[in-house]
Structure 1
Amino acid sequence: MKITEDNTINIRHYLPHREPMLMVDHILELTKENVITSFEITHHNIFVHHNEFSEAGLIENLAQTCSAILGQSFFENPEADTKVIGFITNIKKIEIFSLPKTGDKIISKASLISQYENICHIFCETFNNDELLIRAEINLFIQELKQ
């Protein structure tokens, strides 16, 4: 799929993250149980060292991808000034196979396994073309900050 403005969802409508901690460029697909995102690794990214995107960067990309599933309920109105905070509460399983380089565009996919209120258990993977970079099961917690 060629990524264009017409076939993406604005990630800023679903995540509180902003530069330099925003590790997702576009949401390509979003349902109540699944999400697919894209992210281009640039040389000025804070998680790039020696032209490689670090393990911490891959994990943050996965967490932000997964957050879109749980965050939907907080960002139903894109015009609202909703403030949320999210945490990785547990990484149940994680396997890192390879690190992408600057200039690579990675695709992350996440599927909801279970959810209880604002806590969810999610399976996620990130790819560079057909190469699997990371696979994990994580738990996330998201809560709205009262103003």
Structure 2
Amino acid sequence: MELKEENIINIHHFLPHREPMLMADYILELTPEKVMTSFEITSDNIFVHNNEFLEAGLIEHSAQTCSSILGQSFFQNPEVETKVIGFITNIKKIEIFALPKVGDRIISKASLISKYENICNIFCETFLDEQMLIRTEISLFIQELKS
């Protein structure tokens, strides 16, 4: 998939994560029920070992992709600094098929299964070109931190 500047959404408007824990570069598509992200694996990533992006990195990337759906409600106004806390509450299903390498760009597609207030259940698949790397169903919780 070719990344076109006019189609890219700034990930920082939808996730609280920052380096070194940011595991998504761009949001390519975003609706209240679906998201598609991309991420280029670099050699300095904390989840890279022996030139491969480890399983923990794939899981974190999937979780961050999924949290973009829920994060929309907290980061709607980029002018306002919003602080949130979020975490994985459950991984219902996870299948890892392959690990990407340094220099690879992975694409993840996630769909909302259910949502109740700040808790959601989301299905996510991550690909390297046409090869599926991971498939998971994750439950997430996100809450705004009040000052």
CA distance in 2, matches of 1:143, 1:51: 35
Listed as ranges, the gaps of 5+ residues in structure 2 are none
Percent identity, please.
Answer: 76
Which position in structure 1 is the counterpart of 2:98? 98
Which position in structure 2 is the counterpart of 1:146? 146
Listed as ranges, the gaps of 5+ residues in structure 1 are none
Q: 2:83 aligned with 1:83, yes or no?
A: yes
Shift of 1:2: 1.8
CA distance in 1, matches of 2:55, 2:94: 11
Which position in structure 2 is the counterpart of 1:42? 42
Which position in structure 1 is the counterpart of 2:4? 4
Once the two structures are superposed, what CA deviation does each residue of 1:62-83 show, in whole Å capped at 9, x if it has no partner? Answer: 0000000001000110111000
Counterpart residue type for residue 116 of structure 1: Y
Where 1:70 maps in the other structure, the secondary structure is: helix
Q: Where has structure 1 moved over 3 Å in runs of 4 or more?
A: none
Q: How many residues align structurally?
A: 147
Counterpart residue type for residue 113 of structure 2: I
Shift of 1:6: 1.7
CA distance in 2, matches of 1:45, 1:138: 23
CA distance in 1, matches of 2:127, 2:115: 25
Counterpart residue type for residue 58 of structure 1: L
Where 2:68 maps in the other structure, the secondary structure is: helix
Counterpart residue type for residue 28 of structure 1: L
RMSD across aligned positions (CA): 0.6
CA distance in 1, matches of 2:6, 2:20: 25
Shift of 1:86: 0.6
Counterpart residue type for residue 142 of structure 2: I
CA distance in 2, matches of 1:19, 1:85: 16
In the superposition, the TM-score normalised over structure 1's length comes to 0.99
Which position in structure 1 is the counterpart of 2:55? 55
